[in-house]
Chain A
């Protein structure tokens, strides 16, 4: 790999741009393919980008390996609470670009969340700005309807691959009622994992974070959970 190509790859990564590295395996010749580029392998690169899976393409000149560099998965955590303090670094370690959303400035402090991006906006405003997509997980942890409900409504209007909401069965049932009053039906709100997390008997905030991270992973990888 040429240093110039590596630098461009690192620049694309920093700017959160999708890029494919095409490598001719016999010679080692390489080039970058960006979405929309006029490249002979543009269609194959688009398939690799969409599936987020590298692939090897046979060409007249020999095999070309297409390695996909999509921007990172994202997790938006609503509620700068104790569980979030465990979940945010866990998600970061798992490869997610994490944002904590909480308008209560006493909670959302850099001291409580070192190295994690914090937005002190209201959840509906924050989600409008963050534009969650099919590579985004959204977890609400405040169990305060004033904060969780607008976040969940925005989440349900998005393609987020995972939506989870902390709260007991009773809390969740009331939440569902409020969402139905707001016009969401079961085909929408059944996307919400509630009570949040896998049933592993989690008690402490860190254990609950593990159960959430496990459920998010299962949703991402298409495993039943």
Chain B
């Protein structure tokens, strides 16, 4: 586990301890030249604060938006991003890869 991953999980725990709603996003698979490998994580707080990354900055905005919804609903979701998927998602990966990101609420 990298120092970065540790900080991300610790931030998630700290935010929740401070009474904030928190979601975690994890890259579960990649195809082609995806910017971050599987296992990369992003922690999101309900005010939109986030630490970590699931791409090089290409799709974090969309993941944060979905995460805020998942914080409310509590239903985890798997999001797919990629150049071949641009009808479903306005944000594509500029680098041409595809990634699948699992987003869940910290209960």
Interfacial residues, chain A to chain B (CB-CB below 8 A): 1-3, 6-7, 9-10, 13, 23, 25, 27-28, 53-56, 65, 67-73, 92-93, 95
Bound-state Cα–Cα, A54 to B37, Å: 9
Q: Interface residue tally of chain B, by bracket?
A: 20 to 34
Bound-state Cα–Cα, A27 to B74, Å: 11
Whether B4 is near chain A, meaning CB under 8 Å from some CB there, is: yes
Bound-state Cα–Cα, A56 to B100, Å: 11
Known A10-B10, A10-B13: A65·B5 in contact at CB below 8 Å: no
Contact A68 B3 (CB under 8 A): no
Known A71-B1, A95-B3: A6·B26 in contact at CB below 8 Å: no
Contact A9 B3 (CB under 8 A): no
| Number of A-B residue pairs having CB atoms within 8 Å of each other in the complex | 65
**Closest chain A residue, CB of each to CB of B16:** A3
Contact B39 A54 (CB under 8 A): yes
Collect the chain A residues with CB atoms within 8 Å of residue B2's CB: 72-73, 95
Whether B50 is near chain A, meaning CB under 8 Å from some CB there, is: no
Bound-state Cα–Cα, A54 to B29, Å: 9
**Least CB distance, B4 to chain A, in whole angstroms:** 7
Bound-state Cα–Cα, A111 to B11, Å: 28
Contact A65 B102 (CB under 8 A): yes
